[in-house]
Structure 1
Amino acid sequence: MSLKEYFENALSVDAYKAQMKVNQTEMQQVYEQFEAPEDARVAELKDRHLRVLAISEDWCGDAMMNNAVLLRLAEQAQMEVRFALRDSNLDLIDQYLTNGTSRSIPIYIFMDENFEEVAVWGPRAEGVQAFITDSRQDLPPKDDPTFEEKSKAKHQLAHEAFLSTPAFWNDVYTSILNKVAQ
């Protein structure tokens, strides 16, 4: 399928939100609290009439935070956003693997008026990745009997940080803008 076909078959923002069962409230919370900073590059994006195909899933904490920030940026730049569910579109996500191996999400594909890819962003901003890497460095090896429990605790720590750290939201916003406004 072409990017145009994926986009046309993807969920609208409202349809994506309506199907959410895990992080809907949390995504809305970040969306409502995040105040996108003023940036002159946003006006340039408006003139480009971009569309965004977001590969996402409701269960993903990164997507919960990043999607809220993306939606604020999209409002500013008047970009239409549609959501393709990763687990239903493995052929799509496999074209955008993180480090060539991982189906990490979210992935944002920015397209021009002709549905030609102009930029791809995801799954994390650099500052957020540094936080995750640092927070997980004391995990025991995967074969350790306590690994699963301790890993779940780290996921919860990240989830709470994603909900309550405006610096992360700003980092995501700047990271996306740096990528797409080149």
Structure 2
Amino acid sequence: MDLNSWFSKGMSVQDYIDGMKTHKEEMLEVLEQFNLSELQIASLEALKGKKLRVIALSEDWCGDAMLNNPILLKIADAADMEVRFLLRDENVELMDQYLTNGTSRAIPIYIFIDGEGKEYAHWGPRAQKVQELVERGRASLPAKEDPQFEEKQKAFYKELVESYRTDNGIWQTVSESIIQKITLS
């Protein structure tokens, strides 16, 4: 299936949000609180005439999607890009074309396509600085054999999701990463 067909198959933003069962309130909170800077908005002006669209591979249970999706939506709004969502687990044929490190079905993945349906750029699942934050946190966990591993891992992910929900610095890091990817393509 070509990218135009995948885009056509996707859900509208509202349908995706309406169907969310996990992280819905948190995602909407980020969407409400996050704003692009005037400089970011200006940098996106040049994309308006390109008629770009976005296929967002996502799942509502994913903390990274909770963080990145509302930021993508603000960017898409500023650049006049229509976004359609596809659930990763129901669209593995497409997902498997965008594996992280060639092996992982990590999400979200954003596929930016032009008016003809050709890939313009893709981004995901994390901004590099956020990936480094996650890697540092994982490195601080005890060995998997340690009786405290599971408890410490749950605490780490809970803290991480909370920072995704509230840390404007992380939001800016993500927005800069996505904007850089699509404005330099």
* Map of 1:48 onto structure 2: 50
- Indicate the larger mover: 165-174 or 128-137: 128-137
Q: How far off is 1:136 after superposition?
A: 1.8
Q: How far off is 1:148 after superposition?
A: 1.9
* Map of 1:9 onto structure 2: 9
Q: How far off is 1:146 after superposition?
A: 2.4
* Map of 2:94 onto structure 1: 92
Q: How far off is 1:60 after superposition?
A: 0.2
Q: Deviations over 1:47-103 (max 9, x none)?
A: 111000000000000000100100001111110000010011111111000011100
* Map of 2:104 onto structure 1: 102
* Map of 2:127 onto structure 1: 125
Return the TM-score normalized by structure 1.
0.97
Gaps of 5+ in 1: none
The one-letter code sitting in structure 2 at the alignment partner of 1:107 is I
Q: How far off is 1:35 after superposition?
A: 1.0
CA distance in 1: counterparts of 2:154 and 2:47, whole angstroms: 39
Q: How far off is 1:7 after superposition?
A: 0.7
Kindly indicate whether residue 142 of structure 2 is the aligned counterpart of residue 140 of structure 1. yes
CA distance in 1: counterparts of 2:53 and 2:32, whole angstroms: 22
2:162 pairs with 160, 163, 167, which one? 160
Return the TM-score normalized by structure 2.
0.95
Same amino acid, percent of matched pairs: 50
CA distance in 1: counterparts of 2:172 and 2:116, whole angstroms: 30
* Map of 1:28 onto structure 2: 28
- Indicate the larger mover: 124-133 or 153-162: 124-133
- Indicate the larger mover: 144-153 or 115-124: 144-153
CA distance in 1: counterparts of 2:20 and 2:128, whole angstroms: 27
* Map of 2:60 onto structure 1: 58
Q: Deviations over 1:21-51 (max 9, x none)?
A: 1111100000000011122321011111100
Gaps of 5+ in 2: none
How many equivalent pairs are there? 182
* Map of 1:72 onto structure 2: 74
- 1:160-179 equivalences in 2 (<5 Å): 160-179=162-181
CA distance in 1: counterparts of 2:21 and 2:52, whole angstroms: 29
The one-letter code sitting in structure 1 at the alignment partner of 2:100 is T
CA distance in 2: counterparts of 1:19 and 1:146, whole angstroms: 35
CA distance in 1: counterparts of 2:143 and 2:181, whole angstroms: 35
The one-letter code sitting in structure 2 at the alignment partner of 1:26 is E
Q: How far off is 1:143 after superposition?
A: 2.9
